[in-house]
Amino acid sequence: MIHDPNRIYVFDTTLRDGEQVPGCQLTTSEKIEIAKELELLGVDVIEAGFPISSPGDFQSVVELSKAVSEPIICALTRANNKDIDAAVAALQYAKRPRIHTGIGASDMHIQYKFNSTREEILRRGVEAVKYAKKFVEDIEFYAEDAGRADNAFLAQMVEAVIAAGATVVNIPDTNGYCLPDQYGAKIKYLMDNVKNIDQAIISVHCHNDLGLATANSIAGIMNGARQVECTINGIGERAGNTSLEEVAMVLKTHTSLGKYTNINSKKFHQLSGMVSRMMRMPVQPNKAIVGKNAFAHSSGIHQDGVLKFRENYEIINPEDVGINQSEIILTARSGRHALKHHLERLGYVADKINLEEVYERFLILADKKKEINDDDLLSLMGEGTNNYKDGIHIKLLQVQCGHPLVPTSTIQIEYKNEVKEASATGNGPVNATINAVNAIIGKDINLKELHIDSIHGGSTDSCKVTMTLVYDGKTYMGYGFHTDIVQASAQAYLDAVNKFI
């Protein structure tokens, strides 16, 4: 078989091995939806199911064969004719069909699973390949529990099934037993001792029982394997399978390895979420590549380093896996640089902010809350204390309203170390307060929008006031938070004014 020795084929078994997780079964329509996304992702092979296992699995293979055209569609069987007949029937509509048949290779499986001998197991494996070859050209053979198999016998089995017509031979570390150097050496042994090894592609299929699935897969690739079998999010029986996104990004990041896939990594984030939702299996937050914390930074030292130069603490650009940007999480461990970054993101001009004053109050709040969100920051900036180096600050606010009084507001503000006071009327207490502020600052300001929202609900709750002002042809947003709507409105107005005055 002629192929690019540096091209790694991606065999996705999310819909077969991945679906064996208890409680994660999919309907046929859900499988089709995921399969179409896998096709767009660029996988080379989709293992669609185990047709003889149930009528539903059989039908899923049939429908997936109709739904996708680019990837090879693969059906799993055991080494017997009935299984293979079912796979052939299920694959009748596949444009590029593959039968994946095999049998145990380790002495443990031969003795305790099959109660058989090496010679008999070898015969059954060869006969299964020959029988499947009568119907489908592309035959993959799996030597189950190859990770614990004797290397000399494994080489004998691989050579025999290739001679019988296998185009791909899968060397599974079925129980996740091997260490990377052991597994890599096993693949190298096969490459060096199987005479017809050049006539087939060697595939790695590793489980994660010791957390080594990705490392073992990479070790196999570096020793001659040209296909990697994996799942989205690393889902699968027990501790799971090799994670597709991890292997793809290892090869993409370590270009010195000289290996590549045809995977469009920018689709990882979206596809990871789809599989997680459909299979009702959350992705652990610290999962490599697609976990919610994979590109999140909360340490002040790390945040400062990332903001100065992303690669200080990120070896992968988040955009390469479909995430817009890194997440700088504000906590009590965050520094001034991270706080400044978020304030600028919210529209504040760093040169005008009294950062030391805001940072001191930020730390007090951060000690009370585990994580600071945007509303918390807006609240800090909308309180009207010394947030701005040369800003306007409220010293006193008093309003009179209610039938039959005319709404009147008296406000006292400090600006450039000078305290000024004014009173004004309006069509309500908020309008009167704005008129009083304008009487002091003497600016032609247009209030474009005003929104008042209850943060949690209830008459005693704090409210959030958002104001949009237009001054000198430019638009400015201001925010205020308080249990008193008028006080919150005054804070929001001055928060916006302080951005341009």
pLDDT(330) > 90: no
Number of H helices, E strands in the chain: 16, 16
CATH number, domain containing residue 462: 3.30.160.270
**pLDDT attached to residue 222:** 98
Asked whether residue 124 falls in the same domain as residue 214, the answer is: yes
CA dihedral 240, 242, 245, 250 (to 10 degrees): 140
267 and 163 fall within a common domain: yes
- Whether residue 99 is found in the same domain as residue 210: yes
pLDDT value, residue 461: 52
Task: Please indicate whether residue 80 or residue 451 has the higher confidence score (pLDDT).
Answer: 80
- pLDDT at position 1: 41
pLDDT at 366 (0 to 100)? 78
Please indicate, yes or no, if residue 286 is contained in any of the structural domains.
no
Predicted pLDDT of residue 255 = 95
Please name which of 236, 237, 296, 291 lies closest in space to residue 268, comparing C-alpha atoms: 291
CA dist 96 and 81 (Å) reads 21
pLDDT in tens, 216-248: 999 999 999 999 999 999 999 899 999 999 999
Of the listed ranges 62-71, 140-149, 157-166, 419-428, the one predicted with least confidence: 419-428
Please say which residue of 357, 383, 409 terminates a domain. 383
458 pLDDT band (50/70/90 cuts)? low
How many C-beta atoms surround the C-beta of residue 419 within 10 A? 11
pLDDT band at 328 (very low <50, low <70, confident <90, very high): low
pLDDT in tens, 363-388: 887 787 777 777 777 777 765 546 77
In the prediction, which pLDDT does 378 show? 75
State the average pLDDT for the chain: 89
Last residue of a domain, one of 279, 304, 322: 279
Is residue 235 located within the same domain as residue 320? no
- Is residue 457 a part of any domain in this protein? yes
Whether this prediction's pTM lies above 0.95 is answered by no
Backbone angles phi, psi at 199, to 5 degrees: -95, 0
Is 57 assigned to a binding site?
Answer: no
Confidence at 456, pLDDT banded by 50, 70, 90: low
Please tell me the least confidently modeled range out of 37-41, 120-124, 306-310, 340-344.
306-310
Same domain, residue pair 372 and 420: no
Q: State residue 268's pLDDT score.
A: 94
* Strands 392-400, 408-415: pairing kind: antiparallel
Indicate the number of domains in the chain. Answer: 3
Evaluate if residue 180 carries a pLDDT over 60: yes
* pLDDT > 60? residue 2: no
**What is the SS3 assignment for 201?**
strand
Asked whether residue 2 is assigned to any structural domain, the reply reads no
**8 Å CB contact between 399 and 489:** no
Q: What is the pLDDT of residues 187-221, one digit of tens each?
A: 999 999 999 999 999 999 999 999 999 999 999 99
- Domain membership of residue 303 as a residue range: 296-383
- Tell me, what amino acid is at 87? A
Residues 402 and 488 grouped into a single domain: yes
Mean pLDDT of 15-26: 86
pLDDT given at position 416: 73
pLDDT (tens digit per residue) in 25-51: 899 999 999 999 999 999 999 999 999
Instruction: For residues 318 and 407, state if they share a domain.
Output: no
Is residue 462's pLDDT more than 70?
no
85 in Cβ contact with 79 (< 8 Å): no
For the stretch 251-291, pLDDT in tens is 999 999 999 999 999 999 999 999 999 998 999 988 999 88
User: How do residues 6-18 score in pLDDT, each as one tens digit?
Assistant: 999 999 999 998 8
Residues 130, 19, single domain; the answer is yes
Q: Of 232, 252, 279, which residue sits at a domain end?
A: 279
| 291 belongs to a structural domain | no
224 shares its domain with 343: no
Same domain assignment for residues 101 and 57? yes
Provide the 3-class DSSP secondary structure of residue 131. helix
Would you list the DSSP string of 432-495? HHHHHHHHHH----EEEEEEEEESS-STTS-EEEEEEEEETTEEEEEEEEESSHHHHHHHHHHH
- 302 among annotated binding-site residues: no
pLDDT number for residue 3: 67
- State yes or no: 205 annotated in a binding site: yes
441 lies in some domain: yes
Residue 492 located in a structural domain: yes
Q: Which carries the bigger pLDDT value, residue 378 or residue 115?
A: 115
**CATH code for the domain of 192:** 3.20.20.70
**218 phi/psi in degrees, rounded to 5:** -65, -40
Share of the chain above pLDDT 70, in %: 93
- 210 lies in some domain: yes
Residue 88 has pLDDT above 60, yes or no: yes
Distance CA 327, CA 307 (A): 11
Same domain flag for 301 and 189? no
- Residue 264 and residue 186 in one domain: yes
